[in-house]
Amino acid sequence: MIQFGIIARNFSSSSAVQSAIKNVTVIGGGLMGSGIAQVTAQAGQNVTLVDVNSDVLAKSQKSIQNSLGKVAKKIYKDNPQEAEKFMTESFARIKTSTDPVSAVQGTDLVIEAIVENIDVKHTLFQKLDSAAPDHTIFASNTSSLSINEIASIVKRKDKFGGLHFFNPVPVMRLLEVVRGSETSDTTYNTMMQWGKSVGKTCVACKDTPGFIVNRLLVPYMAEALRLLERGDASARDIDVAMKLGAGYPMGPIELVDYVGLDTTKFILDGWHKKFPDQALFKPIAIMNKLVAEGKLGVKTGEGFYKYEKK
Ligand code: CAA
Ligand code: NAD
């Protein structure tokens, strides 16, 4: 029987599936990059986590420690010593850096999880392409951009693909593995195998906007915001309705706060530019206003709801 995320969460400490990948560089230590670094380290691989400055990296490390604590408690509930060992060893496998060029020396896989902007991603990958060893695979965790378009800037197009994780990465069991038009069979198979090695269930998808999950989930979240914008229902009632009426673990407005209003806006704006006639992708004024005010959701302490500062 297939078990779904909320029923059987993935809290594996290590995986029986082995991968040829031993050293991984994760670029971007925000919501997603921190989680990707964590699950990689939990699987016994060495990780270098890169971000723009040491303050951001200190925040990433704090969030990884918190999350490792939750995972350890779950796996080793009756064995505090093993829990402590698991946390210490996993955390020790994660190095941090503010220099992407030196961080990719000797790495087997680079996973990019920086801001959802094609120009910024191009600048990064162009720099990495000349710095990383020839065998290194490049992957983007993009939510909505085309893998082919991101890969257009590098020479190693056969070694480029999409590895799309879900938030919170240590909990959500899915990994979408995306093949670009030039991704080689070897690269694709290595990415699939690697995904399994970090305990994820992998699904394959072509390079289409939003792949599988976001093509369905983002229009759903956008429609919920339009209900709110029209005054058809309150945020709370929309969220309660989808949790109790449709069995979702979070309501759609809560989910926008959880994903980040900036990221959700970047996704919608990108698709709107590409498909201006598609009503589902039209800009949403109430969300854009909050983004302009710096209210980006859980990560800034306020979005559509307010959160206690962690
Ligand atoms: N790390 C480790 N463990 C965590 C965690 C984290 N960051 N967050 C939660 N957990 C654990 C908790 O410790 C708890 O464990 P126990 O069951 O042992 O107590 C368990 O997960 C449940 O957590 P909570 O009790 O705090 O809260 P919850 O039951 O509401 O679950 C949730 C939280 C897992 C986030 C759940 O609400 C959920 O599944 N929400 C939907 C998330 C979702 O849809 N994600 C996809 C977003 S879209 C995306 O990611 C793609 C994109 O490109 C935009
Ligand atoms: P975030 O804002 O939490 O983190 C992004 C991090 O990247 C920040 O810490 C920022 O300082 C860093 N950064 C930006 N430019 C950089 C650069 N040039 N070099 C190094 N670091 C840089 O964003 P996020 O939610 O983690 O999203 C990251 C990527 O993952 C985006 O492409 C997003 O679409 C995708 N994604 C997001 C979610 C989600 O639910 N938030 C889910 C799946 C995929």
Q: How far is the CA of 158 from the centre of ligand 1 (A)?
A: 34
In the structure encoding, which two tokens stand for residue 280, read together? 């589902």
Residue 17 is assigned to a structural domain of this protein: no
Of 19, 144, 164, 197, the active-site residue reads 164
194 and 96 inside one domain: yes
Q: What is the pTM of this model?
A: 0.95
Catalytic residue status for 272:
no
Contacts of 147 (CB under 8 A, 6+ apart): 140, 160, 161, 162, 178, 179, 180, 183, 207
Q: How far is the CA of 248 from the centre of ligand 2 (A)?
A: 25
| Ligand of minimum distance to the alpha carbon of 38 | 1
Strand partners, 162: 140, 178
Task: Please tell me the predicted confidence (pLDDT) of residue 9.
Answer: 45
CATH of the domain at 74: 3.40.50.720
Q: 28 to each of 52, 179, 268, 280, 291, how far by Cα in Å? A: 8, 22, 21, 29, 20
Q: Is 141 in the pocket of ligand 2 (CB under 6 A)?
A: yes
Task: Please tell me the predicted confidence (pLDDT) of residue 8.
Answer: 36
Last residue of a domain, one of 152, 184, 206: 206
Give the number of the atom of ligand 1 that is nearest the alpha carbon of residue 264. 54
Task: Please tell me the predicted confidence (pLDDT) of residue 43.
Answer: 97
Please give the torsion angle defined by the CA atoms of residues 217, 219, 225 and 229, in that order, rounded to the nearest 10 degrees: -170
For each of the chain's 310 residues, which pLDDT tens digit applies?
333 333 334 454 555 678 889 999 999 999 999 999 999 999 999 999 999 999 999 999 999 999 999 999 999 999 999 999 999 999 999 999 999 999 999 999 999 999 999 999 999 999 999 999 999 999 999 999 999 999 999 999 999 999 999 999 999 999 999 999 999 999 999 999 999 999 999 999 999 999 999 999 999 999 999 999 999 999 999 999 999 999 999 999 999 999 999 999 999 999 999 999 999 999 999 999 999 999 999 999 999 999 987 6
167 and 262 inside one domain: no
201 and 232 inside one domain: no
Q: Is 268 in the pocket of ligand 1 (CB under 6 A)?
A: no
Q: How many domains does the chain have?
A: 2
122 and 239 inside one domain: no
Last residue of a domain, one of 152, 187, 206: 206
Q: Give the CA count within 13 Å in the CB-facing half-sphere of 284.
A: 28
Task: Please tell me the predicted confidence (pLDDT) of residue 17.
Answer: 78
Report which of 85, 93, 37, 84 is spatially closest to residue 64, judged by C-alpha positions: 37
Please give the residue range of the domain that contains residue 267: 214-300
Residue 151 is assigned to a structural domain of this protein: yes
Q: How far is the CA of 82 from the centre of ligand 1 (A)?
A: 23
Q: Is 259 in the pocket of ligand 2 (CB under 6 A)?
A: yes
Q: Is 249 in the pocket of ligand 1 (CB under 6 A)?
A: yes
Of 46, 214, 254, 302, the active-site residue reads 214
